[in-house]
Amino acid sequence: MSIVHVTRRAHFNAAHRLHNPEQSDEWNRAVFGKCNNPNWHGHNYELEVTVSGEPSPETGYVIDLAELKTIMNRQVIDICDHANLNLDVPFMQGILPSTENFAVAIWHRLVDALPSGKLTSIRLFETPRNYVEYRGE
Amino acid sequence: MSIVHVTRRAHFNAAHRLHNPEQSDEWNRAVFGKCNNPNWHGHNYELEVTVSGEPSPETGYVIDLAELKTIMNRQVIDICDHANLNLDVPFMQGILPSTENFAVAIWHRLVDALPSGKLTSIRLFETPRNYVEYRGE
Amino acid sequence: MSIVHVTRRAHFNAAHRLHNPEQSDEWNRAVFGKCNNPNWHGHNYELEVTVSGEPSPETGYVIDLAELKTIMNRQVIDICDHANLNLDVPFMQGILPSTENFAVAIWHRLVDALPSGKLTSIRLFETPRNYVEYRGE
Amino acid sequence: MSIVHVTRRAHFNAAHRLHNPEQSDEWNRAVFGKCNNPNWHGHNYELEVTVSGEPSPETGYVIDLAELKTIMNRQVIDICDHANLNLDVPFMQGILPSTENFAVAIWHRLVDALPSGKLTSIRLFETPRNYVEYRGE
Amino acid sequence: MSIVHVTRRAHFNAAHRLHNPEQSDEWNRAVFGKCNNPNWHGHNYELEVTVSGEPSPETGYVIDLAELKTIMNRQVIDICDHANLNLDVPFMQGILPSTENFAVAIWHRLVDALPSGKLTSIRLFETPRNYVEYRGE
Amino acid sequence: MSIVHVTRRAHFNAAHRLHNPEQSDEWNRAVFGKCNNPNWHGHNYELEVTVSGEPSPETGYVIDLAELKTIMNRQVIDICDHANLNLDVPFMQGILPSTENFAVAIWHRLVDALPSGKLTSIRLFETPRNYVEYRGE
């Protein structure tokens, strides 16, 4: 028995703004700095999704990557690409779109769309120098 | 005599929207698709600036890269980073912020801030798969 | 007037073998070494296509990248991806599939499919450490 | 006491084909699509091998990377580079060469060639967007 | 409750030499080869620092990346950048500057400068093909 | 007739120091800053060498990359890798080792070792963000 971890990387770009509506504008400017710009800013996000399990004896696959790509597109990429995370993305409504919160939200978009127990990690790169990982813990 | 081409790469991120106000909303949606999203989208831009010339016999430099970095920051990065190209960037007012037009505008921001004849190329990556180059021609 | 150079990068993978049928097997083994393996080997190719021209005053585009992508897919990627360059690709029949010859062949696949005078460069990466460029000269 | 994880990356390229000989041609085409091409396709594989342990007080090394490189070359790279995984690689005979199965097979090629307990992870990139990890579990 | 892992990447370059002063010159040359060059050699190091915890409900941050950057600069980058690890870096005195030992030393520079329990991983790339990870175990 | 440009990338690491011995220590510190550190610093250099010409009808090659690799190793890499550019590299004696001067010196090491007229460009990356190009002009 061998547990193999399979990762697929995808790309999308989006606008967002870090702003906590329960706090004053002054607090938001002090805490979020340029990320609080009311006119938005944006990123090329890179998303890595890892699913884990035993390779099928028939196909050698933990998961068919074409199927994983379809699920990632339907659940995340098609909704977020060229969108405004604060205004356009239903699953981010009411959530402060930090990379941390966005990764957790992406996990919840994917975990039930994948076979039970398969999803083990989400890695989300906001820039080539900053990324977060969420493992459902 | 040796002409050497020196390139420095910098990073910034910004929001933008492709929209031609002299055309109808319908035309804009048809031509620009998702890039016309009224709620904006964004990118991590990578900017490469090339200056060319003979290395100084005293320093071995075509240009001091610390000086080039200062000029790039003052003329471009500090103004564009975490900004909205359509709303926040004075040198992009009235210009459709395609990567092509943005690169030409960056050239004009830099050419007079650098010693005469030095600037030879601007390369601007909008995503890892799309980039433009402008050589002042 | 400003001439801007726009590049789009695409990915495909393929098998190939370097073998000159007009020469002996011994000559081929001596000249091409492991690249002459009769059981084939393969690569993840990265293709960069550059088109040049003045940005349109209406769109800011030299070329609509969605259109360029469609042309690249139809003329090159859909034919070469997951294919054997020696056996499966009609436009490579009778051509020794070195990276050099492959890049020239890709140029000829694209030059007439693009608006006149637009295509200015093909760059083809066979590995992250080896690439060729062809500019139609 | 400090456990440090040391990773070395290596490159090779190979041809392969996904085909399960116990199933019909029709089944194989339906399941594997383009990856079932009877004329093969190929990849530039990137292999990361991680060994873990306490750094030696005398050398500061968990393992001498020159020694690790020699073992990786002898056990994997020299056999797989410019080869056909289905036809040329003895340790892949009878194994469907999915990235998953290939990574597990590479683990078994390396685990006994390295000091006991040292090997902790194999990561294998089939393309820049798809990779698998196997940790011997 | 969600534990998210946040990573920031930084860059610096330095000279070093692998040499164990308690051993003979002959031993050092045999063990360290070119890395023992008495005239030094150097690297562009890439450092990844991972901190883990629950995102704050107010900011969405596990840690403010600007604060993490300030701590990384003060504790590591400002001291090591353009420096000689053997001669110039106080926290490396008496330590053989292998990548393994350097990563462990960086951990100890950061663990007490960060909020308790936050630091979970140091990854240090000596070259694009060699890196180590230390998780405080 | 088709002129194709073939590029091979190689890696080495080295220590160096920017210091003009005809100037005062004060001048050197003011001009070169941290790069003047008397205890050296270092880099992972990436070198790209481009040779241009018509592909051979017999081999499809502008140049056999194995031959180019051998020449690059003999003329540059074996001499510079894990070396001190100021002290250990004969072809850099008396030359201020800026990236500019180093690239020009590498050109002169290669131009006569390659078939006449073949060498058309040297690109030298000192860091992922700074590189120079020299085309023999």
pLDDT tens by residue, B11-25: 999 999 999 999 999
Give the pLDDT confidence score for residue D86 in this predicted structure. Answer: 98
In this complex, the residue of F50, F61, F66 whose CB is nearest that of residue C98 is F61
Q: Are C41 and D82 in contact (CB under 8 A)?
A: yes
Distance of alpha carbon F13 from alpha carbon E130, whole angstroms: 13
Q: Is the pLDDT of residue D97 over 90?
A: yes
State what percent of residues in chain D have pLDDT above 90. 97
Query: Looking at CA atoms only, how far is residue B20 from chain C in angstroms?
Result: 7
Q: How many CB pairs under 8 A join E and F?
A: 77
DSSP string, C27-59: HHHHHHGGGG-TT-EEEEEEEEEEEEEPPPTTT
Of the candidates C17, C34, C41, C44, the residue with the CA atom closest to the CA atom of residue C98: C17
pLDDT of residue E83: 98
What sign does the CA torsion over C97, C98, C104, C107 have? Answer: positive
E97 contacts D8? CB cut-off 8 A: no
Strand locations in chain C, DSSP E?
A: 4-16, 41-53, 83-84, 119-127, 130-134
Q: Do C82 and D16 touch (CB under 8 A)?
A: no
Residue to mutate among D132, D134, D135, with most A CBs inside 10 A, is D132
**Element of type H or E holding D121:** strand D119-127
Q: Which residues of B touch F98 (CB under 8 A)?
A: 55, 59-61
Computed on alpha carbons and rounded to an integer, the radius of gyration of chain A in Å comes to: 17
Which residue of E20, E32, E132 is in closest CB contact with D6?
E132
For residues C44-50, average pLDDT: 98
Residue of A nearest to E58 (CA): A20
Catalytic residues of A: 35, 82, 126
Each residue of A5-63: pLDDT tens digit? 999 999 999 999 999 999 999 999 999 999 999 999 999 999 999 999 999 999 999 99
Distant-in-sequence, close-in-space partners of B94: CB < 8 Å, separation ≥ 6: none
Q: Structure tokens of E102?
A: 């350097």
What is the helix (H) or strand (E) element at residue E36, kind and residue range?
none
Note whether E101 contacts D65, CB cutoff 8 Å.
Answer: no
Q: How many CB pairs under 8 A join C and D?
A: 77
From residue A71, alpha-carbon distances to A84, A118, C17, E118 in Å are 21, 13, 36, 33
What SS3 state is found at D28?
Answer: helix
What's the rounded Cα separation, in Å, for the pair E37 and F82? 7
Residue E69: pLDDT above 90? Answer: yes
Give the nearest chain E residue to F85 (CA atoms).
Answer: E41
B107-136 mean pLDDT:
96
pLDDT for B38-50, tens place per residue? Answer: 999 999 999 999 9
Is-contact C110 C102, C-beta < 8 A? no
Measured between beta carbons, the chain B residues lying within 8 angstroms of F17 are none
Phi-psi region of B114 (alpha: psi -120 to 50; beta: other; left: phi over 0): beta
Q: Report the relative pairing of strands B4-16 and B83-84 from DSSP bridges.
A: parallel
* Catalytic residue list of C: 35, 82, 126
% pLDDT > 90, chain E: 97
Chains touching chain C, criterion 3+ CB pairs below 8 Å:
B, D, F
Helix (H) or strand (E) holding D62: none
CA distance B103 to B132: 7
- In terms of Cα–Cα distance, which of F122, F92, F121, F104 is closest to F15? F92
Chains B and E touch (3+ CB pairs under 8 A): no
CB-closest option in D6, D8, D9 to E100: D6
Q: Which helix (H) or strand (E) is A57 found in, with range?
A: none
**Active-site entry in B5, B11, B82, B133:** B82
Would you name the residues of F annotated as active-site residues?
Answer: 35, 82, 126
* Rounded Cα distance, F121 and F114, in Å: 12
Model confidence at F1, pLDDT cuts 50, 70, 90, reads confident
Contacts of D66 in chain E (CB under 8 A): 33
Residue among F39, F41, F81 whose CB faces E34 most closely: F81
Average confidence score pLDDT of chain C: 97
Per-residue confidence (pLDDT) for residue E116, from 0 to 100: 81
In this prediction, residue E131 carries a pLDDT of 98
Q: Which CA distances in Å does B67 have to A65, B38, B58, B64, E82?
A: 48, 38, 16, 5, 18
Helix, strand and coil percent figures for chain C, each rounded to 5: 30, 30, 35
pLDDT: is A3 or D116 the higher one? A3
Q: How far apart are CA B85 and CA B77, in angstroms?
A: 12
Chains E and A touch (3+ CB pairs under 8 A): yes
**CB contacts, 8 Å: C137 with chain F:** 2-3
What is the complex's ipTM, to 2 decimals? 0.96
Find the closest chain C residue to F63 by CA distance.
Answer: C100
Produce one character per residue of D27-66: b if its CB has 16 or more CB atoms within 10 Å, e if not.
ebeebbeebbbebbbbbbbbbbbbbbbebbeebbbbbebe
| Per-residue model confidence (pLDDT) at position F35 | 98
Instruction: Work out the minimum CA distance from C57 to partner chain F, whole angstroms.
Output: 33
Nearest-CB residue to A2 (from D128, D130, D134): D134
Indicate which of C12, C13, C16, C18 best probes the interface with D, i.e. most D CBs within 10 Å of its own CB: C13
Nearest CA in chain C to F67: C31
Rounded to whole angstroms, the Cα distance separating C109 from C86 reads: 16
Task: To the nearest 10°, report the CA torsion of B73, B76, B79, B84.
Answer: -140
Q: C123 to chain B nearest CA, in Å?
A: 13
Active-site entry in D54, D126, D133, D137: D126
Digit-coded pLDDT (tens) for C110-136 = 999 999 879 999 999 999 999 999 999
Q: Are B107 and C3 in contact (CB under 8 A)?
A: no
Residues of E at the A interface, defined by Cβ within 8 angstroms: 2-10, 50, 55, 58-62, 64-66
Which of D37, D44, D129 is the closest to C43 by Cβ? D44
Mean per-residue pLDDT for C3-30? 98
Least CB-CB distance to A61: which of D98, D104, D128? D98
Note whether B43 contacts A43, CB cutoff 8 Å: yes
pLDDT per residue over D6-17, tens digit each? 999 999 999 999
The answer to whether the CB atoms of A135 and E60 lie below 8 A apart is: no
Extract the tokens encoding D11: 């490159």
Closest-CA residue of chain A to D18: A59
CA B103 to CA A98: how far, in whole Å? 29
Cα dihedral sign, F24-F42-F133-F114: positive
Residues D37, C128: C-beta atoms closer than 8 Å:
no
Task: Compute φ and ψ for B48, nearest 5 degrees.
Answer: -115, 125
What token pair was written down for F111?
Answer: 């131009």
For residue B6, name the pLDDT band (cuts at 50, 70, 90): very high
CB-nearest to D2 from E18, E23, E104 is E104
Match 């995102």 to its residue by tokens: E55
* Nearest-neighbour CA in chain D from C9: distance (Å): 13
Beta carbons of B59 and F135 less than 8 Å apart:
no
User: Does residue A75 surpass a pLDDT of 90?
Assistant: yes
Q: Which residues of F touch B6 (CB under 8 A)?
A: 99-100, 130-132
Q: Which residues of E45-83 are buried (b: 16+ CB within 10 A; e: fewer)?
A: bbbbbbbbbebbeebbbbbebeebbebbeebbbebbbbb
Is the predicted pLDDT of residue E64 greater than 90, yes or no? yes
Burial class (CB within 10 angstroms; exposed 0-12, middle 13-18, buried 19+) of F108: middle
Phi, psi of E42 (to 5 degrees): -155, 175
Show the domains of chain D with their CATH numbers: 4-134 (3.30.479.10)
Q: Rg of chain B's alpha carbons, rounded to an integer? A: 17
pLDDT at B116: 81
Bridge partners, residue D12, by sequence: D45
pLDDT value of position B132: 98
Strands (E), chain E: 4-16, 41-53, 83-84, 119-127, 130-134
| Residues E131-137, mean pLDDT to the nearest whole number | 97
CB C37 within 8 A of CB D12: no
What is the torsional sign of CA B116, B118, B120, B121?
Answer: negative
Tens digit of each residue's pLDDT (9 = 90 or more) over F49-93: 999 999 999 999 999 999 999 999 999 999 999 999 999 999 999
Estimate the share of chain F in helix, then strand, then coil, as percent rounded to the nearest 5.
30, 30, 35
pLDDT (tens digit, 9 = 90+) per residue, F3-39?
999 999 999 999 999 999 999 999 999 999 999 999 9
* Cβ pair E2:A134 closer than 8 A: yes
Instruction: Give the pLDDT band (50/70/90) at residue B1.
Output: confident
Q: In angstroms, how far is the first alpha carbon of chain A from the final one? A: 25
* The pairing of beta strand E130-134 with beta strand D4-16: antiparallel
Q: How far is CA E61 from CA A20, A31, A128, in A?
A: 12, 10, 18
What digits encode the pLDDT tens for the residues D32-56? 999 999 999 999 999 999 999 999 9
Measure the CA–CA gap between B78 and A30, rounded to whole angstroms: 18
pLDDT for the residue E117: 79
D9 and E129 within 8 Å at the Cβ level: the answer is yes
Question: Under an 8 Å CB criterion, which residues of C touch B?
Answer: 2-10, 55, 58-62, 64-66
Residue F117 has a pLDDT of 79
Q: What is the pLDDT of residues E2-28, one digit of tens each?
A: 999 999 999 999 999 999 999 999 999
Which residues in A lie closer than 8 A to residue B39 (C-beta atoms)? 15, 83-84, 87-88
Query: What is the predicted pLDDT for the residue at A117?
Result: 79
Helices (H), chain D: 25-32, 65-72, 78-80, 99-111
The predicted model gives E46-70 an average pLDDT of 97
> Could you tell me the two tokens for D23?
């199933």
E132·D2 Cβ contact <8 A: no
Confidence of residue A3 (pLDDT cuts 50, 70, 90): very high
Tokens 């999803």 appear where? A119
Phi and psi for D96 in degrees, rounded to 5?
-70, 120
What is the chain D residue with the closest CA to E124? D6
